[in-house]
Amino acid sequence: MSRYMSARFEKLEAYVPGEQPQDMQYVKLNTNESPYPPAPGVLAAVNAGEIGRLNLYPDPEGRALREKLAERYGVEADNVFLANGSDELLSFAFMAFCDGERPVAFPNISYGFYPVYANLYQVPYTEIPLKEGFILDPADYCGLHRNIVIANPNAPTGRAVPVQGIEEIVRTNPDHVVLVDEAYINFGGESCLPLIQKYGNLLVCQTFSKFRSLAGGRLGFAVADQGLIADLEKIKYSTNSYNINRLTAAAALATLDSDSYYADNSRKIQENRAYTRLELNKLGFETIPSLANFIFIRCPQVEGGALYRALKARGVLVRHWDRAEISDWLRVTIGTREQMDIFLDRIREILKEAG
């Protein structure tokens, strides 16, 4: 920190994103990207004209894309908010809805950005412990009198709460915002998005980064009651009114025309997830049932950090956290069958060496 930085950030610990090695030599199973490229129509849409229009600002309202998403989800464009990745959406939501009088709660093991945003905006937060086996009990969140953020399915565990459980949380906290982060909803989970018709305090966030193969484009969106969306708009227009660039908007519009391509990819990922889990279980690993495009695993013989390093030395990147509660665990993104076979082969080698 230089002597010029505001003292209020002295204790702020920034989020550390997963490694993004630029040489691309690794089998990259560390940041939950799709192993499949965008659909051919997406490349065509970006190349067709948008590049030539980069001298012009994009539509600050993102009308075309909001209307298309609204049509998809049976809502109005005013129920849809666009952000530069769901990270920006989360940032805006923490800024808009949380403060000293409106503190926030989230699970103790969840997406690492939640406490960072709480600290950034100086919002008091409560971390609610998951139950044994990383299970989230909705009863812990009912009538909490706080804003609530829940990743569903959760990261890094992959476990999901049924819609009924989410509804109980939303119903019993009518004076607070319940943000459901559905970054990983399209790999077998059930979205609670239809509930926004019933509850004005529910904010459902999704992303184009995972299922829709557009992590590099940076696009997240929220669906909620118009009141909540208007609040987010106010923050956006006070931060960066052109937050979605032209190329990303064109790519996202075309993405929504290629449903069967993405559904097919999700089916393959779900098959590879089941295959990988089965093979790891045969090797004695503990694995958490996942509805996301990753699995959370624990090796009985080799400690988490050591296994992460041994895999990296063999060209496979996975995610490991140096936090006591989960330091024995690794989060492994589900890639293609070929990638998962390489991962499993390296695991077998490491286990053999460990004796």
130 binds ligand PMP (CB under 6 A): no
87 binds ligand PMP (CB under 6 A): yes
DSSP string, 121-136: TT--EEEEPPBGGGB-
183 binds ligand PMP (CB under 6 A): yes
List, in order, residues 6 or more apart from 66 with CB less than 8 Å away.
77, 80, 81, 82
Sign of the C-alpha dihedral computed for residues 258, 259, 264 and 267 taken in this order: positive
**Using CA atoms, how far apart are residues 11 and 26, in angstroms rounded to an integer?**
34
Q: Using the rule CB under 6 A, which residue among 209, 248, 272, 333 binds ligand PMP?
A: 209
Q: How far is the CB of 202 from ligand PMP (least distance, A)?
A: 17
First-last CA distance in the chain: 46
Helix (H, G, I), strand (E, B) or coil at 322: coil
Residue 153 preceded by cis peptide, ω within 30: yes
Q: Using the rule CB under 6 A, which residue among 29, 69, 155, 224 binds ligand PMP?
A: 155
> What character string, x for contact with ligand PMP (CB under 6 A) and - otherwise, covers 216-245?
----x-------------------------
| Inter-residue contact 151 to 121 (CB < 8 Å) | no
The number of helices, as runs of H, and strands, as runs of E, in the chain is 10, 12
111 binds ligand PMP (CB under 6 A): yes
Which listed range, 56-64, 69-77, 83-91, 300-308, lies at the site for ligand PMP (CB under 6 A)? 83-91
- Give the largest Cα separation in the chain, rounded: 62
Residues binding ligand PMP: number (CB under 6 A):
12
Judged by beta carbon, residue 87 or residue 225, the one nearer ligand PMP is 87
151 binds ligand PMP (CB under 6 A): yes
Two structure tokens written together for 310: 């041994």
In the bound state, the residue with its beta carbon closest to ligand PMP is 85
Q: How far is the CB of 297 from ligand PMP (least distance, A)?
A: 17
Q: How far is the CB of 89 from ligand PMP (least distance, A)?
A: 7
Query: What is the binding site for ligand PMP (CB under 6 A)?
Result: 85-87, 111, 151, 155, 181, 183, 207, 209, 215, 220
